[in-house]
Amino acid sequence: MGPTASGKTALAIELASTGPYDIISVDSGMVYRGMDIGTAKPDATTLARAPHRLIDIRDPADAYSAADFRHDALTEMAAIAAAGRIPLLVGGTMLYFRVLLDGLADMPPADADVRARIAALAEAEGWPAVHARLAEVDPVAAARLGPNDSQRLSRALEVFEVSGRPLSVWHDEQRPPEALPYDITQIAIAPPDRTVLHQRIEQRFDAMLADGLVEEVARLRDRPDLHADLPSMKAVGYAQVWGHLDGHYDATEMRLRGIYASRQLAKRQFTWLRRFAADWHDGAQAGLADLLLKKQEATRTFASPREV
């Protein structure tokens, strides 16, 4: 696990090419078909050499939740272990890692009508009005959410409207999940110098633009069933290019906004990373894959499945 542009994928592919590992993607953007350049999805040649599970499993118009990921990841992990191999989970969606390890509270199902009413309120009065409404019924949840955090505000208010109980109460009643039937080692990949990461982020975003990110977003934007408020289209890079194509700012500002959003994402990822009991490494460290393989041989605990 690690921040964007830290070298996670390259390391995972090297490990998979030399050890008994099958890769599972932990990336909320790579699950979507047609979102390739902006998610830094491995190309077809790379995927043929090192297949990634949980890539291209959803259409961008469809929702994909942390609960969906946990179910899918556990299914893939069980299949990999049953084949006598080792699941190697790689990605930067830290919420997915946390949900995999800690589970999720039982929650009321989504309600399209309630969600539509909340969206109408936001359209008419703005998301701060939704935040104010949430503060009336669930001040604990409102305190931890920003007034423009549209996706989480909508879900928190939806939970209350559907169940009559605050989201914070549902979280308080969360039952600990059954222990995963694996010995797990958590590895964080991040450069020790944040400046180096910022440089990589800028270089990678420029490379995405050169590879056709604007054209990719334009193709998605041409679809009548996709719009800027979908979770898929709010992904870093896609949201900024979409705004440019809508005429809100020019290409120069779009580039700056994309780089800034990527840096902010990395900052949030670092905050999440500190909550994990992870062994930290620099992805640029020479011989890192060999080092990790030797650690596995010495400890026999590097993500090795236990008998169940």
Residue 170 confidence (pLDDT): 84
Residue 263 confidence (pLDDT): 97
88-126: buried (b, 16+ CB within 10 Å) or exposed (e) per residue?
bbbbbbbebbbbbeebbeebbeeeeebbeebeebbeeee
pLDDT digits (tens, 9 = 90+) for 25-66: 999 999 999 999 999 999 999 999 999 999 999 999 998 988
- Token digits for 49? 């050499």
- The pLDDT confidence band at residue 162, using thresholds 50, 70 and 90, is very high
pTM of the model: 0.82
- The pLDDT confidence band at residue 174, using thresholds 50, 70 and 90, is low
- Asked if residues 103 and 176 have their Cβ atoms less than 8 Å apart, the reply is yes
The gap between the terminal CA atoms of the chain, to the nearest Å, is: 26
Q: What is the mean pLDDT of residues 146-161?
A: 88
Residue 307 confidence (pLDDT): 37
Residue 308 confidence (pLDDT): 32
